[in-house]
Structure 1
Amino acid sequence: MVIITFSLLSLLLLFINPLPISSLNNGLALTPPMGWSTWNVFRCDYSEVDLMEMADILVSSGMLSAGYKYLNIDDCWEASYRDPISGMLKYNETKFPHGMLALSDYIHSKGLLFGIYSSSGERTCQEYPGSWQHEFLDAALFSSWNIDFLKLDCCYQDNIKDRATAYISWSKALSIQNRSIVFSCDTDELILNENNLEFPFQWAPEYCNMARISWDINDEWKSTLSITDRAANIYYASRPGYWNDLDILTVGLGEQTIEEYTSQFSLWAIMSSPLIAGNDLRKMTKEITNILTNEEIIAINQDKLGRSGNMIRRALDGSYEVWAKPIYYENMSLIYDINNTPRFSPLPFHAVVLLNRLNITANITLEFNDLFDHRLSPHPPTPIWTVSIRDLWLHQDLGRFVETWKAINVPVHGVRMVTVLLLNATNPHR
């Protein structure tokens, strides 16, 4: 057996990028955006004082250090009308007596970035002025406020073509500003319309840095599973510059178990979803902090190879799933047989999530051939794989394993999340 080693990222991309899907080329969101949003905690009841407090806590809690750099305000910051002379959006002066630019300056002074909300329709979802036919005017306004992130909803539009057109117009409007603004397309209403035959993930990558791929999330386990099931079918769309958005994290909202929150965070991470937290930072427990700031899990989400994980195995009865994501590794091996012919070209380093969907604990086996399958028909036979495994929640190296590894007693609705590094592949007949 001859082993040839490469350390080229482009070579890795060659093996896992079979679908030439373009993404928005604005130089932003080369890894999934991370931040915090007001919606789950405040809905419409917030002011500049609340946002300044959240900015302070993002820093003091370690969230910023962990990567959560965007502080995003959602709907309800607006006044109830546009300026009658200029046509510009106005902010609510009662909520923001010092103005939006002053708030932006405060957020930036903390080392954070500032995100804002609008809707592509004539009204926002909460009945404030929307951006329909004001895209370029509003983009210039947001740029003047030093905005770094825009979430664009799609309420109050009846025509699907108009909705999609509005996102394209906004993308163009943002591209001509003198400020780099991540474009988050909240496209769930497009998905829900049963007559819509062209889903957002089919067109959004060219115009958006991230786009919703499912309906709004709720703080319940079945909602996590429903979104995960949908994401499994479209993982291929994500890549640097565009990411499938599985929606705001519900971790810490209080209606699920710690195991369920751990599972959600693991799944969002391995699927390369943007990680936008939505919990009350003022009441964040140590357990929730440990989930949201786990550096090893976040590193999988932010991996520079820039791929999304996908489901590689599911039990026939739906009781468990195995998800895998190729991870960048400095040394990639191409292993040749004795005739110097490539037998397989496996990516040697993967993150893996083993998910227990049952209401009882379960043992779940990882078959290494699922990760390193050479995709050749029965000749030659499958190699014997030797790997090393590290548990990312326990922060422990588990050792070397051959052919399979069994996760014992995976909790109810829980996961084991590990990295698997290929060490050796041998011919079983030699």
Structure 2
Amino acid sequence: MRLFASLLCALLLSVAPAFSQTQLAATPPMGWNSWNHFAAHVTDADVRSAADALVSTGMRDAGYVYVNVDDTWQGKRDAQGVLHPNERFPDMKALGDYIHSKGLKFGIYSGPGEKTCGGYAGSLGHEEQDAKMYASWGVDFLKYDLCSFQDNMHKAQAEHPNDPNAANNLMIAAYRKMGDALKATGRPIVYSLCQYGVDQPWKWGPGLGANMWRTTDDIDDSYGRMIAIGFSQAGLSKYAGPGHWNDPDMLEIGNGKMTADEYKTHMSLWVILAAPLLAGNDLSTMTEADKSLLMNKDAIAIDQDSLGKQGDRLYESGDLDVWTKPLSGGRVAVGLFNRSWSVREVSVDLGQIGFPNGGSVRDVWEKKDLGHRSGVVVETLPKHGAALLIVGK
């Protein structure tokens, strides 16, 4: 009997995956994605250049390890249904090998529909086949975009008018199918749901093996859109944690249409939110200001903190916001935000965030310790500005 139990245990261990959902994304994934800057024009050379830049700039060592090819890499399927890349990507396995040779990870893009957002081949009806192909290429991350599958959802709802959940149930089943296919490959592949917050994916995403899910529609390189997305995350903190993260979309820092203070707000808010940090700029043209935001060690440490807690809004007063994020070691990150068009004072009462006797305060963007503070800490912020503090005992 003991021998049988030992053999059974060995068998179970042999078929169990060598990774868990939590281990795969214990902290929010960090890296680079091609879409925000290169969009539909991305090439193999652009991706290799981004991989090189992640290394040469120090971003890889700061934690940015995923190199993600977004939409428009796909070519046509052959008679056996195998999807081949287009002429801009002559050899995806070779591209993945190059990325891995730099100590980085390889990400790719598809969707549950027949077509992707850009009109390229999606994975509908080829989920298992595509997942096996991704694994053979050495893919480490899949962004799975709803887009054209919404047509299928509208059709399902029209065919079942008395079932208000028909469309959403079809969507969840489609995301589950790819999740199961990825798991069956045995390769640890981060599964990123890009479906714009439809039907509250933070409630059902973890059950599908997803590691992150979009909570909003697309971001763009504008202050108004960025804060609309970022501040709409209030109340979602309880749904995030190791292995499963809310995703308010990629970073626009370095793309040039916001001010330095607005980009500072962008980074401050995203790290408080424990958001995946996927840079979306041309890494070859980064300014020192871009680098100082993207690679600030304290800011990254807030995002990647081992406690695995997402921050949330402490209070809002007109155009002023205070957000906090619990950190390991009893510390608290505090984001102070001025959404107004003039210089304003924004304050936080340390007693209200767990420090009735005060605490040590570090200014993240100024890179300096402010010493022991008690009572109310006040920061004077420029229009659309932000301060990011770490408070400890």
Cross-structure match for 1:27: 23
Question: In 2, are the aligned partners of 1:149 and 1:183 still within 8 Å (CA)?
Answer: yes
For normalisation by structure 1, the TM-score amounts to 0.81
Could you tell me how far apart the structure 1 residues matched to 2:249 and 2:115 are?
22
Stretches of structure 1 that go unaligned for 5 or more consecutive residues are 1-23, 192-197, 330-347, 374-383, 423-430
What root-mean-square deviation, in Å, do the aligned CA atoms of Structure 1 and Structure 2 show? 1.3
**Alignment match of 1:260 (pick from 259, 262, 277):** 262
Q: Does 2:55 match 1:52?
A: no
**Alignment match of 1:410 (pick from 381, 385, 392):** 381
Listed as ranges, the matches of 1:158-307 within 5 Å are 158=151, 159=153, 160=167, 161-188=169-196, 191=198, 198-207=199-208, 208-307=210-309
Out of 99-108 and 44-53, give the one that drifted further. 44-53
Question: In 2, are the aligned partners of 1:205 and 1:237 still within 8 Å (CA)?
Answer: no
**Alignment match of 2:106 (pick from 105, 114, 118):** 114
Q: Does 2:88 match 1:95?
A: yes
Question: In 1, are the aligned partners of 2:33 and 2:279 still within 8 Å (CA)?
Answer: yes
**Alignment match of 1:349 (pick from 302, 325, 331):** 331
Could you tell me how far apart the structure 2 residues matched to 1:108 and 1:395 are?
33
- The structure whose residues are more often helix, as a share, is 2
Kindly provide the CA deviation profile for residues 284-334 of structure 1, in whole angstroms up to 9, marking residues without a partner as x.
11110111010110000000000000001111xx221111011101xxxxx
Cross-structure match for 2:73: 77
Determine helix, strand or coil for the equivalent of 1:314: strand
Question: In 1, are the aligned partners of 2:357 and 2:374 still within 8 Å (CA)?
Answer: yes
Structure 1 runs of 4+ aligned residues shifted over 6 Å read: none
Percent identity, please.
Answer: 41
Could you tell me how far apart the structure 1 residues matched to 2:309 and 2:256 are?
31
Stretches of structure 2 that go unaligned for 5 or more consecutive residues are 1-19, 154-166
Kindly provide the CA deviation profile for residues 273-293 of structure 1, in whole angstroms up to 9, marking residues without a partner as x.
000000111211111011101
Determine helix, strand or coil for the equivalent of 1:90: strand
Cross-structure match for 2:360: 388
Residues 170 and 26 of structure 1, relative CA distance in 2, 3 Å threshold:
farther
Kindly provide the CA deviation profile for residues 227-275 of structure 1, in whole angstroms up to 9, marking residues without a partner as x.
1222112121110000000101011111100000011001000110000
Could you tell me how far apart the structure 2 residues matched to 1:36 and 1:30 are?
18
Residues 283 and 154 of structure 1, relative CA distance in 2, 3 Å threshold:
same
Could you tell me how far apart the structure 1 residues matched to 2:264 and 2:195 are?
26
Cross-structure match for 1:326: 326
Determine helix, strand or coil for the equivalent of 2:255: coil
Determine helix, strand or coil for the equivalent of 1:44: helix
Could you tell me how far apart the structure 1 residues matched to 2:323 and 2:22 are?
30
Could you tell me how far apart the structure 1 residues matched to 2:231 and 2:303 are?
18
Cross-structure match for 1:420: 391
Question: In 1, are the aligned partners of 2:351 and 2:358 still within 8 Å (CA)?
Answer: no
Matched residue count: 357
Could you tell me how far apart the structure 1 residues matched to 2:352 and 2:77 are?
56
Question: In 2, are the aligned partners of 1:312 and 1:370 still within 8 Å (CA)?
Answer: no
Could you tell me how far apart the structure 1 residues matched to 2:221 and 2:289 are?
17
Cross-structure match for 1:370: 352
Larger relative contact order (CA 8 Å, sep ≥ 6): 1
Cross-structure match for 1:43: 39
Could you tell me how far apart the structure 2 residues matched to 1:187 and 1:283 are?
31
Question: In 2, are the aligned partners of 1:239 and 1:307 still within 8 Å (CA)?
Answer: yes
Question: In 1, are the aligned partners of 2:194 and 2:213 still within 8 Å (CA)?
Answer: yes
Amino acid at match of 1:361: V
Out of 51-60 and 156-165, give the one that drifted further. 156-165
